[in-house]
A and B are shown apart, each in its own frame.
Chain A
Amino acid sequence: MKVTRIYAGKNIDIPQEIDENTGAMSNLSWSDSSYFGKADHPIPMHIEHGIACNTAEKAGATDRAMTELLERVQCDTKKLCDKHLSEHKIRFPFSSKRKRMSTIVENLETGNSYGKRLHVKGASEIVKNCCSHYLDD
């Protein structure tokens, strides 16, 4: 499975080119004008956190498609996990009844004194109905 499109305020097509030298998928950069245009855009950061910290150790095919995307943008997932996932992280694994999985992670960015953030990943129409806000491009 491959991530071919992302909708984040606008539709983004992910090219499926294979690098001839390495034989792997070609690298991408979020700061490219066809993606988010600048390096410090908040959406890519949220995407990286959301996937890196909220993926089960034994990833399924769908999860792998998303972690492969992080590899293509050269995201250091291990560093993110070390920083945000504490020893006793709180994770609610995917269940086909809820159609989503959640993890509570340390939130160091916002300066929130409390410093916890819940990441949710799951079937779109179900998660969407739980949203009250969205990140615009």
Chain B
Amino acid sequence: MTDEIKSHLDNIITGYAKQALRTICLAYKDVMPGECGPDHDEPKDQDVKDLEKSGLTMICIFGIMDIVRPEVPGAVEQIHRAGVTVRMVTGDNIVTARAIAVNCNILKPEEVDDYRCCMEGPEFYDKMGGLVVRNKKEEVGNFRVFKEQMPYMKVMARSRPEDKYLMVTGLRQMGCTVAVTGDGTNDAPALKKADVGFAMGKTGTDTCKDAADILITDDNFKSIVKACMWGRNVYDNIKRFLQFQLTVNVGACIITFVGAIVGKASPLQPIQLLWVNLIMDSLASLALATEMPKASLLLRAPQNRDDYIVSRKMIKHILGQAFWQCAVLFIFLFAGEYLIPESTKKHEWPEKPGFVFPGRAADF
């Protein structure tokens, strides 16, 4: 094989790769006696590794197309709008990886020629200074470079397990929430390290399924978008539940406290408070907590890792609502006898009108 042929083959490979084809080469070699041990029965690892390094005869190069599912570019766009950055980490060569990334909408056409967007795994590992352990915590060796690189970086080609792991470690060090998807055994360390690991249910190996948190049973990227939507929905439902519960309870506390100080007896009897808390609130909260996800959940940015679950806005709402409720209840409680006209037919009222009224008030 001359250099001329080698460069011709390079052109062929690049040509295939540019069409988003994965290129696989088939080669053989007739093994001579004495190579790789006397009878090949007990070869040492290193022997075969040396054997497959040189003197092969090339048979052919395959161009293998991985058909991008039609829904994938849309799903990537959707999750991008939701404030999630999608990065592709693959074992393919950089030209194929770049072409596939463009087809999947991960790489914008104007980013294709940007050298910062695509990188090969080993180069990435060296540039970031590898993985170091500081204070018993795994960190990126050259964190400053990592932080500068990450906003651009979209595609990592020819990656090894340690490159994936380093990327996840670094992103977490930056305070990002990281989800990793994978199907191979070599994805397992990264899946384990990530905040959320998604494994492919159909094609994934057992090792990667064990390391993951969520199994995607249909192996579809669209399901990840769905998982994101459900995650946000559950979080929102918890917030709704909390807001409702706290509003009711702040109101009830103030009424009971003020009522007990000012009035002769508490306006709300213990049994009424229990009724409000256990029966009415639980059922109402259940309705809020089981709300289904909406597509609009994916139109806003994700919340920060260390945001409070009861946000500033929620506190405002809770206090505002509680004070408003209290104000109305106090008006009825203290001025009710002057405001509400009473019936003259006394026998039509229940025996203890005082019991009915606070119940109504609590309902209100």
Contact = CB atoms under 8 A, between A and B. Distances in A.
A22 interface: no
A96 B30 contact: no
B31 A118 contact: yes
A55 B21 CA distance: 20
Contact of A118 (B5, B52, B63, B66): B52
Contact of A135 (B48, B51, B57, B63): B57
A7 B54 contact: no
Contacts of A5: 16, 21, 62-63
Nearest to B93: A125
Given A100-B52, A102-B52, A131-B1, A66 B91 contact: no
Interface residues of A, number: 54
B254 interface: no
B26 interface: yes
A52 to B, nearest CB: 11
Interface in B39-54: 40-41, 43, 45, 48-49, 51-54
Interface string A77-107: 0000000000010101000111110101001
Interface string B300-313: 00000000000000
A65 B64 contact: yes
Contacts of B256: none
Contacts of A132: 1, 54-57
B113 to A, nearest CB: 21
B203 A110 contact: no
B176 interface: no
B11 to A, nearest CB: 10
Contacts of B286: none
A131 B60 contact: no
Contacts of B54: 130, 132
B7 to A, nearest CB: 11
A23 interface: no
A3 B64 CA distance: 4
What is the interface of chain A mostly: helix, strand, loop, or mixed?
mixed
A133 B56 CA distance: 7
Of listed B16, B59, B67, residue having the most chain A CB within 10 A: B59
B57 A62 contact: no
Interface string B61-81: 111111100000000000000
A72 interface: no
A114 B33 contact: yes
B161 A96 contact: yes
Interface in A55-83: 58, 60-62, 65-66
B58 interface: yes
Contact of B29 (A11, A51, A118, A125): A118
A97 B159 CA distance: 9
A120 B161 CA distance: 22
A47 B60 contact: yes
A38 interface: no
Interface in B314-355: none
Contacts of B52: 92, 98, 100, 102, 118, 120, 130
A25 interface: no
B10 interface: yes
Contact of A6 (B30, B48, B61): B61
A66 B29 contact: no
A99 B91 contact: yes
Interface in B117-174: 158-161
Nearest to B54: A130
B63 A127 contact: no
B21 A98 contact: no
Contact of B57 (A6, A49, A134): A134
Contact of B59 (A8, A65, A118, A130): A8
A115 B190 CA distance: 43
Interface of B: 1, 5-6, 9-10, 12-13, 16, 21-33, 36, 40-41, 43, 45, 48-49, 51-67, 91, 93, 158-161, 184, 186, 203, 205
Given A5-B62, A7-B63, A125-B23, 8 more contacts: A4-B65, A117-B28, A120-B26, A120-B27, A126-B25, A127-B27, A127-B56, A131-B56
22 contacts: A1-B65, A2-B67, A4-B64, A5-B16, A7-B61, A8-B61, A11-B12, A47-B60, A49-B28, A60-B184, A88-B41, A92-B52, A99-B91, A104-B36, A107-B30, A116-B40, A121-B25, A123-B91, A128-B9, A133-B56, A133-B57, A134-B1
